[in-house]
A = this chain, B = another copy of it.
């Protein structure tokens, strides 16, 4: 269940006394020249003799340089192409440009080895970025004008993660099959985006490939789910399964470990209580997202849940103010692309296009929730790991073993069963509806989701064919 690696959506707050930006820097790029024990060769990720991270033998610094040169070129050349509607065949286009180190009439000279940069479906991703409210200039600036920060918490998947300096974008290396699968997914992704604007699926902003030294390094640019400006006091990666879904001892040693389903049930047996409108909007969104995932036979995805505890944050601030560390502790959220932050609350409210009238300063894009004990929380969520389905074949053997041990709770099952169980777990166990009058009254959250009729329970759609004997 190698999911920890893909949970690193944002620098985690492992360093309590420094600002997040600094923290991320010290964990990421900084660490590559030190010899932290956390790093080791996993999959394509390794270390070179100087201690720098490598991916398929390309050093992280060369990869970052190539990514920045490549994206600068592709976004620039796209801006000269007239805007037009996306067509079916646009999903299959791959553009390619060669970057010799000595430069060419199209590309600048650079200090790395020659490489080739490929852009998948440029017109389609331009449309997606536009739909997500990302202006080309901002995209370019965030990714190419500032240092990309390598995340050390890359986990067991063997992927390499970068976050943009402004904390907006995550760059993740993806395997050949994942990239292929994303390309296949694009028409369905387009359809989902046009019908289900309140989606919790990853926001895919771009898919590229750096070809260097005979190797292909494919990367996806995605949204950063957990903004570093908000300290996550708890973090969960949940699939709706209970089989082996507990964070490892090693994970628990981290300052903010990524916990799993069983940990959640233990920590928050009464779940996270939501205002009825937010609960309904969230349930509907999960349902619609799951239907899409199921239709593409996708499984094994997770819900990433980051929880900011407002009471605890207040206590921490009080403590920091006493010690004078407050300013450093909570950096102001970057301005500029501010709207991109409000993933969670905007996603379920359906105003993902930059307007966020319903979000208050206090909510910082999180969904307001409380625990049974009355603690006030802000919740940040998103569905992650949707490209790994192809791994299923390899896991069959394992899943059969698991089946023997633990009937209905194996992580790997048929897509319909998986979607149904995921949805039930999120909407019955993780999130619960409480009457508005019982909600925190000093922060009235007025949400008026469109009462959209398009969402029956997944199991009613004739797509789920779970066999009762297994359940």
Contact = CB atoms under 8 A, between A and B. Distances in A.
Contacts of A83: 453-456
A188 B82 contact: no
B454 A84 contact: yes
A265 B355 CA distance: 50
Contact of A87 (B82, B191, B453): B191
A393 interface: no
Interface string A52-88: 0000000000000000000000000000001111111
A288 interface: yes
A194 interface: yes
Interface string A14-57: 00000000000000000000000000000000000000000000
A298 to B, nearest CB: 12
A195 B85 contact: yes
A192 interface: yes
Nearest to A287: B84
A196 interface: yes
A195 B123 CA distance: 13
Interface in A420-471: 453-456, 460-461
Interface residues of A, number: 26
A295 interface: yes
A291 interface: yes
A460 B85 contact: no
Interface string A287-300: 01001100100000
Given A187-B187, A190-B191, A191-B190, A461 B82 contact: yes
B195 A456 contact: no
A243 B288 CA distance: 52
A323 interface: no
B84 A191 contact: no
A89 interface: yes
Q: Which one of A87, A291, A292 has the highest number of Cβ atoms from chain B below 10 Å of its Cβ?
A: A87
Contacts of A187: 88, 187
B85 A288 contact: yes
Contacts of A192: 85
B455 A188 contact: no
Contacts of A84: 288, 291, 454-456, 461
Which 3 A-B pairs have CB atoms at the shortest separation, nearest pair first? A82-B456, A87-B295, A83-B454
16 contacts: A82-B461, A84-B291, A84-B456, A85-B195, A85-B196, A85-B291, A85-B292, A85-B454, A86-B191, A87-B291, A88-B187, A88-B295, A89-B295, A187-B187, A190-B191, A194-B194
Interface of A: 82-89, 187-188, 190-192, 194-196, 288, 291-292, 295, 453-456, 460-461
